[in-house]
């Protein structure tokens, strides 16, 4: 299939491939977009916009996927028969946080599923995420050693009492499932991919329970030989990946440390309290990173856990200037967001405005009775959109999804922790399926570029379930992402830029839809 690779070469013009829809299971409106060895849809390329013209991308429950239309700024529409008029006003003078970006995770399960496809389809799948005709992800999360989305438990230091790290080594999983695909993604982003690493557990012999699986802390006292060895483990990981051509932008101290309180936890974890994390960073990990050639410029993030822990977790760490000096940001997961107000994020930002916040893990299909994929389910994409908008409007700098792809069961993994993913691989048929979650991610990642700045956005208070976020980009464009979560209410969104008062963009927003609207900063009308 040499012709597909030719179409993907930089600078080579290519006709737009639209979604090849297929209903597989469930309600009739549940459909996926099918990619095989000869065909895969891509993102409608946005050419140069004329002043006064806006590009409107739409995806919806009704069947649209990155549908591109153009609209003109003009007078406010009075033809709102059958729809609810809603004023949407942006104020570029109100500026907030910078955008870091969007992405997904390179787990062992992802690599296993990619390896089940032909090389051309591996390229197609990764290009769908990282390429210029794809979602243009710029962030990637990499587990340090094994996690629940591995086929076995392993560390890089499985030899007991090896405090000098003489037996430290990367494993076959790194060379078969992670590094080759990371390399491809880095090339697709022209070297702009920012990688962050997270660890699930120390080697079992270093923990009080003697194994990686199940909650327990490290052995010994802070500053003792186990903590010293654990700090050196991070440095060796960075060094070994560097030897294999992979360098990291970010690092978290511990994945979901609060889960380590559960001795019966079903996969790898390790307990750190906020106080323990603070002391480990200030006395061991922080100084080691600062003195490391491959860690001195890394963005170190604390917590990497649910937002109900905020702002207390951040307060505990940043109250100590010796710890705070080493930590650049706060990593947050989404799994308890439905019971925790997003205001916790704003509150944390107000207390610690010099630290960024980044959402580092999310997936659907993790709750009881809903495990695994639901192919084509719009509501799961909509849940992503709602959470991303809430996060961004409360000072989050970006949002990283969990597995880039999974199989039809939502795995494989040793923990049988089957969940959903934006792309599902059907190795038996030689296909992969792009889900609504994939398209929702693109409505953000394709346009809310790094160094964009969130700006003020006001939506009519009576426009219930119409939500949005707005940014001003580094390339002098305005971008709004709007979602309508209503079952039966359509809106006529009448968008006004405070920098150009009296000119309106009228956008039809149907029920259960997401829209990305882009226009030039300066209008010549």
Pairing of strands 453-459, 84-98: antiparallel
Both tokens of residue 363? 């997936």
Task: Please tell me the distance from the alpha carbon of residue 405 to that of residue 422, in angstroms, as a whole number.
Answer: 7
The count of other CB atoms within 10 Å of the CB of residue 23 is 13
Beta strand extents in 172-249 (DSSP E only): 194-199
* 111 contacts 181 by C-beta, under 8 angstroms: yes
Give Cα 269 to chain centroid, integer Å.
21
Q: Which of 173, 256, 277, 431 is catalytic?
A: 256
* 365 contacts 352 by C-beta, under 8 angstroms: no
Q: Hey, which residues does 101 pair with through a beta bridge?
A: 398
Q: Kind and range of the H or E element at 128?
A: helix 119-130
Among 166, 172, 241, 155, CA closest to 206? 155
Task: Please tell me the distance from the alpha carbon of residue 57 to that of residue 68, in angstroms, as a whole number.
Answer: 5
Task: Please tell me the distance from the alpha carbon of residue 343 to that of residue 366, in angstroms, as a whole number.
Answer: 24
Over the Cα atoms of the chain, what is R_g? 23
Among 373, 378, 359, CA closest to 29? 378
Q: Is 361 a catalytic residue?
A: yes
Helix 119-130 and helix 179-188, axial crossing angle in degrees, nearest 10: 50
Question: Can you count the helices (H) and strands (E) in the chain?
Answer: 13, 22
Look-up of token digits 């405070």: 498
Task: Please tell me the distance from the alpha carbon of residue 7 to that of residue 9, in angstroms, as a whole number.
Answer: 6
Task: Please tell me the distance from the alpha carbon of residue 58 to that of residue 507, in angstroms, as a whole number.
Answer: 10
Q: Which of 136, 173, 277, 361 is catalytic?
A: 361
CA angle 66, 68, 71 (to 5 degrees): 140
Three-class SS state of 402: strand
Pairing of strands 299-306, 329-333: parallel
Task: Please tell me the distance from the alpha carbon of residue 68 to that of residue 70, in angstroms, as a whole number.
Answer: 7
In degrees and rounded to multiples of 5, residue 166 shows phi and psi of -70, -30
Q: Is 431 a catalytic residue?
A: no
Beta strand extents in 7-122 (DSSP E only): 21-23, 31-35, 53-60, 67-72, 84-98, 101-105
Look-up of token digits 């942006």: 90
Task: Please tell me the distance from the alpha carbon of residue 196 to that of residue 139, in angstroms, as a whole number.
Answer: 8
Q: Catalytic residue numbers?
A: 256, 361
């Amino acid at each position: 299939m040499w012709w597909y690779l030719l179409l993907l070469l930089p600078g080579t013009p290519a006709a737009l491939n639209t979604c090849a829809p297929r209903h597989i299971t469930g309600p009739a409106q549940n459909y996926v977009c099918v990619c095989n060895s000869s065909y895969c849809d891509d993102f409608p390329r946005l050419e140069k916009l004329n002043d006064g013209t806006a590009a409107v991308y739409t995806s919806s429950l009704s069947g649209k996927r990155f549908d591109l239309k153009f609209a003109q700024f003009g007078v406010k529409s009075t033809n709102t028969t059958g729809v609810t008029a809603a004023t949407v006003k942006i104020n570029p003078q109100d500026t907030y946080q910078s955008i870091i970006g969007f992405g997904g995770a390179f787990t062992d399960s992802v690599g296993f599923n990619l390896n089940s496809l032909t090389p051309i389809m591996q390229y197609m799948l990764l290009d769908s995420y990282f390429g210029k005709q794809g979602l243009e992800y710029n962030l990637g999360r990499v587990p340090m050693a094994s996690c629940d989305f591995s086929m076995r438990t392993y560390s890089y230091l499985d030899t007991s009492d090896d405090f000098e790290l003489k037996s430290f080594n990367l494993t076959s999983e790194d060379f078969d499932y992670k590094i080759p695909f990371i390399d491809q993604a880095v090339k697709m982003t022209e070297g702009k991919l920012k990688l962050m690493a997270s660890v699930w557990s120390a080697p079992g012999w270093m923990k009080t329970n003697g194994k990686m699986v199940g909650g327990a802390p490290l052995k010994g006292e802070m500053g003792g030989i186990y903590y010293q060895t654990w700090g050196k483990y991070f440095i060796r990981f960075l060094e070994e990946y560097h030897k294999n051509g992979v360098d990291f932008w970010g690092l978290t101290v511990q994945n979901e440390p609060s889960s380590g309180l559960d001795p019966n936890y079903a996969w790898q974890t390790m307990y750190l309290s906020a106080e323990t994390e603070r002391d480990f960073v200030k006395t061991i990990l922080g100084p080691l990173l600062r003195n490391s050639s491959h860690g001195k410029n890394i963005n170190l993030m604390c917590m990497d856990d649910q937002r109900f822990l905020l702002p207390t977790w951040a307060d505990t760490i940043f109250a100590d200037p010796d710890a705070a000096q080493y930590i650049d940001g706060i990593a947050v997961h989404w799994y308890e967001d439905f019971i925790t107000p997003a205001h916790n994020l704003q509150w944390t930002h107000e207390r610690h405005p010099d630290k960024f916040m980044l959402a580092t893990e999310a997936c659907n299909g993790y709750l009881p009775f809903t495990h695994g994929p639901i192919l084509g389910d719009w509501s799961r994409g909509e849940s992503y959109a709602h959470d991303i908008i809430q996060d961004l409007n409360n000072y989050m700098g970006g949002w990283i999804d969990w597995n880039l792809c999974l199989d039809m069961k939502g795995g494989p993994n040793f923990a049988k922790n089957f969940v959903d993913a934006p792309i599902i691989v059907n190795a038996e048929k030689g296909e992969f399926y792009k889900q609504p979650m994939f398209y929702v991610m693109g409505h953000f990642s394709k346009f809310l570029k790094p160094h964009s700045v969130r700006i003020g956005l006001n939506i009519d208070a009576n426009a219930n379930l119409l939500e949005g976020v707005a940014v001003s980009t580094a390339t002098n464009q305005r971008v709004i992402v709007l979602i309508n979560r209503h079952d039966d209410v359509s809106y006529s969104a009448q968008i006004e830029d405070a920098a150009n008062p009296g000119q309106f963009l009228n956008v039809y927003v149907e029920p259960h839809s997401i829209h990305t609207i882009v226009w030039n900063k300066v209008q010549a009308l």
